[in-house]
Structure 1
Amino acid sequence: MADISSLFVTRLYRAPVSDRKPAVDFDELRATCLSVAGDDDAGHDWCEANGYPGYTSYASLSDLPWRFPVFKKLVKALDRHLAAFAEDLEFDLGDRKLVLEDIWINILPEGGVHSGHLHPHSVISGTTYVAMPPGTSAIRFEDPRLPMMMAAPPRKKDARAKMKTFAYVAPEVGEVLLWESWLRHEVPMNMSEENRVSVSFNYRWG
């Protein structure tokens, strides 16, 4: 009998932020994100200059946990989620830890997209979800082997989730997703009339 096994597994971590302390008030986090977006002229200027839909603080604010207590709490909780994911990944970190490199706000309006990308120079990346109105887009992950599949036939529509070329994940408000930073991903067009709000981050090997 043939023995068919899986090699080189790609892991995705998904959990409520509330599974790890301290508790984070997501209503407060949402209000803070919207307030920051309303005041961050430099961020809006960068978005306009770079054709970025909606708003991101990625290029304008690098100290959100220092400025806002709710972000400080969020980072403490994320640190604990990161530790759990790193253990699952069986990383040998030696005497160095995974430490937060950057954290930023994303506000995606109706019709906005975040095209496919990865996060170079980081080890683990992730997003926590602050507002996901009905009809808003899931996040799409791409099989990292895709560039090598130039002669492969397509997968069946009813293929097992782990065998598909693309995986769509529709998180809920208050959840966090973590993945290794080399995993290419994108956010398809937001079809909701309301804003999709998230907070993304990178961790490096410190």
Structure 2
Amino acid sequence: MSQIESLFVTRLYRAPLSEYAPSVDAKELETSCIVIADDDEAGQEWCEEQGYPGYTSYASLTDLPWRFPIFADLVKVLDQHVMAFAKDLEFDLGEGKLVLEDLWINILPEGGSHGSHIHPHSVISGTTYVSMPEGTSALKLEDPRHAMMMAAPARVKSARREMQNFIYMKPDVGDVLLWESWLRHEVPMNMAEDERISVSFNYKWAE
């Protein structure tokens, strides 16, 4: 009898941020992101020089958890989500552990997008969603084998979810999404009039 099984699975973690303590006030987090963006002249200049739409603190502020208590609380919560995901992935961390490498704010205005990319020096990457206005863009995830499927036909539109070349995730405010850092992803154009606000992060393996 013939047999077909799925191999080399790609996992995606989704959960409410509030699943773990301490509580992170959503409104306070949103206000903090906006205030930081308004005050971060170095970040604004970097975005302008790079042609980056909207604002990111990625290249300017590397110590948000030290500067702002709400980000320190956020990291405590993210640590627990990452631990849960690492357990599901069955990582053998030995005597080491996964620790926060960097964390940054993203504010994407109407018409803004973030092109396809990976996070090659990290183990787990993710985003928690602070403001997702109606009509804003989802997260687009790409099949990691895509570049090697040079002669493969397109999938039928009704293909099973696990067989599709691209998956679009529309998170809710307060959700956290985690994936392995080699997974290529992008943020399509924000079609909403209001800003899309999120906080992204990377975790590395520290022995």
Q: TM-score, normalised by structure 2?
A: 0.99
Q: 5+ residue gaps in structure 1?
A: none
Within 2, Cα distance between the matches of 1:178 and 1:15? 9
Q: Secondary structure at the match of 1:101?
A: strand
Q: Secondary structure at the match of 1:144?
A: coil
Within 2, Cα distance between the matches of 1:15 and 1:160? 23
Within 2, Cα distance between the matches of 1:99 and 1:128? 17
Shift of 1:2: 1.5
Aligned-residue CA RMSD (Å): 0.4
Question: Is 1:197 aligned with 2:197?
Answer: yes
Within 2, Cα distance between the matches of 1:79 and 1:134? 29
Q: 5+ residue gaps in structure 2?
A: none
Question: Which position in structure 2 is the counterpart of 1:181?
Answer: 181
User: Identical aligned pairs, as a percentage?
Assistant: 69
Q: Deviations over 1:85-139 (max 9, x none)?
A: 0000000000010000000000000000000000011000000000000000000
Q: Secondary structure at the match of 1:86?
A: helix
Question: Which position in structure 1 is the counterpart of 2:112?
Answer: 112
Q: Secondary structure at the match of 1:186?
A: strand
Within 1, Cα distance between the matches of 2:43 and 2:110? 19
Question: Which position in structure 1 is the counterpart of 2:64?
Answer: 64
Q: Secondary structure at the match of 2:151?
A: coil
Question: Which position in structure 2 is the counterpart of 1:14?
Answer: 14
Q: Where in structure 2 are the equivalents of 1:41-80 lying within 5 Å?
A: 41-80=41-80
Question: Is 1:145 aligned with 2:145?
Answer: yes
Within 1, Cα distance between the matches of 2:82 and 2:127? 12
| Structure 1 outlier segments of 4+, above 2 Å | none
Q: Secondary structure at the match of 1:119?
A: coil
Q: TM-score, normalised by structure 1?
A: 0.99
Q: Deviations over 1:35-59 (max 9, x none)?
A: 0000000001000111111000000
The amino acid across from 1:103 in the alignment is: L
Question: Which position in structure 2 is the counterpart of 1:32?
Answer: 32
Q: Deviations over 1:126-177 (max 9, x none)?
A: 0000000000000000000011001000011111111000000000000000
Q: Number of paired residues?
A: 206
Within 2, Cα distance between the matches of 1:108 and 1:161? 28
Within 2, Cα distance between the matches of 1:140 and 1:83? 24
